[in-house]
Amino acid sequence: MTPELDPFIAGPALVPAVAAVLVLLLDALLPRAHRLPLIVGALALAGGALSAVALRVRAASGEVPQTLCFEGDRALTVPLPTGPQTGTCLMQVSPSDALLQAVALLAGLAVLVLLLGGRGPERSDGREAGGVDGGHTAEGSGSVSAGRDPAVEAALLFAAVAGAAALPAAADLATWLVTLELATLPIVGLVALRGERHEGGAMPLLTTSLTSFALAVVGAGLWVTVTGSLRLDAAAAWSATQAPDDARILAAAAAFLVAGVAFKLSLVPFHAWTPTTYPSAGPRLALLLATVSTVAALAALSAVVEAAAAVLPTLQPALGVLAVASLLVGAVVALRQQDPVRLLAWSGITQAGWVVAPLVAGDTAAATGYLAVYAVAALTALAAVSALGLAGRELAEHRGLARREPLVAGSLVLALLTFAGLPPGIAGLLAKVAALRPLAADGLWWVALPAVIAAVVALAVYLRWVALLLAPEREEREGEPQRLPAVVATCGGALLVAATVAPALLLGVL
């Protein structure tokens, strides 16, 4: 029996995939229409985001949207005490899944606008005359080589977004593995095309991707061996825990899967690529890594934690160590950083610790809500850094920017206060409370207390930057913020304000 595909349920993943093919086709037919990838992509990603929001509403009503159901497929059948399961669906969407899809699509739209929306006239040296601030011209200020093809860049971006949007709904290991790499490898290509090549930002990312994929494949092989099924859910895991030896193999399979995803989520000690890749890629591609790639990583990790619920007590020490190490190492090392992009890279590591902390208690909804808030704040901060031309400039040079550029720098201040969990960044505070609550309920104080310590240390990281932005300017500086990054930063700041007024927008029901 051929499974039916519901285009509405598959829409968040299907739309960017179709857009990737369409922009390449249009580029072949209309090679001089350089704005078409931007127009087609913006419409596709906006439509996909609306579809994800509609799915979230539908899933919150109690329905479980699912599609691509294979009735009677032995590879997807698990024997249970009530009788064999006759089939399963390869895609099913929960409210948390739909939220991750919406975040990935909106972040992809922001990256598309930043990468392709500001293409200016070429200069005599073959580079574009993008906007600059203080004489700086880099990827962060919008300059790109004349030979770059916007259709190829757009197709790579759409492919990564399609993988990130499909991964939350994946219910089997095959789809899980394919979409996880689909969300990663196109980003490697974009970093290679757009990044500063002399710093080699793409190589650590590629090495990390291959290593993590190898670990994930080993884990997937062990999972299929012990469960006899491709299903990545609690039913398959339950069947394997009935024999003690099988339960140990299942725990090892889950550990390999977690290790594979830990690379992509930048968890300590799998984080070494992050502080190298972010600065070399520039703030615009760092935004892609901090949002779309991180959404895919959390979706993958949440699927493993939910599926391996039967052996979660065995996994708790490993997950807890990853969370605590990331929280503390990221916060402490960020204290020493002067470059804003590198600081945000280390900040992303400690924020990844916050994302994983509730997963130690098996609470995927709290992890999803925290990531949604972090993704919007990271988008706002990196877009503001790009708009103000701050990449590569020490924090001391940011003095007085909030007075000179109140809208963009004000959005940056709000993003930093959201990271810190201080008013008016109330969404960040609520996200931290939601992340700590399941830990306190389960008595996991050895994870909760280091999280509180990391939050206190992180105050110094963000407040010193905020203080410089708000301080009086010592000397007059010329230069206007770049228009499109400024618009993205302002929109991100507005969304953070909306999340403060209506926390359910990103956090769900507290």
Question: How far, in Å, CA of 152 to CA of 51, rounded?
Answer: 25
Rg of the chain over Cα atoms, rounded to whole angstroms, equals 22
Question: Would 2 be classed as within a structural domain?
Answer: no
b/e for 271-287, b at 16 or more Cβ within 10 A?
Answer: bebbbbbbbbbbbbbbb
Give the pair of three-digit tokens for residue 236.
Answer: 């398959």
Is 351 domain-assigned? yes
**Host domain of residue 228:** 7-121+130-507
Neighbours of 30 (CB within 10 A): 11
* Number of domains the chain is built from: 1
Q: Which residues of the chain have pLDDT under 50?
A: 81-86, 119-147, 197-198, 510
1 is a domain residue: no
Strands 66-71 and 87-92: antiparallel
pLDDT for the residue numbered 198? 44
DSSP string across 332-365: HHHTT--SHHHHHHHHHHHHHHHHHHHHHTT-HH
Burial-class residue 423 by CB neighbours within 10 Å (0-12, 13-18, 19+): exposed
Q: Quote the pLDDT of residue 122.
A: 33
Amino acid at 430: L
**pLDDT tens per residue across span 331-364:** 999 998 888 999 999 999 999 999 999 999 989 9
Map 393-423 to HEC letters: CCHHHHCCHHHHCHHHHHHHHHHHHHHHCCC
pLDDT of 121 reads 33
Q: How confident is the model at residue 141, as a pLDDT?
A: 38
Concatenate the DSSP letters of all residues of 97-135 into one string. HHHHHHHHHHHHHHHHHHHHTT---B-TTSBB----BTT
Decide if 173 contacts 260 (C-beta within 8 A).
Answer: no
Per-residue pLDDT at 133: 36
List, in order, residues 6 or more apart from 182 with CB less than 8 Å away: 159, 160, 162, 163, 166
Is 472 within a domain? yes
Q: Which pTM value belongs to this model?
A: 0.87
Side-chain half-sphere CA neighbours of 437 within 13 A:
14
Q: Are 67 and 13 in contact (CB under 8 A)?
A: no
Rounded Cα–Cα distance for residues 88 and 473 (Å): 62
Would 189 be classed as within a structural domain?
A: yes
Q: What is the pLDDT of residues 46-98, one digit of tens each?
A: 999 999 999 888 888 877 788 777 665 555 555 554 444 445 677 888 888 99
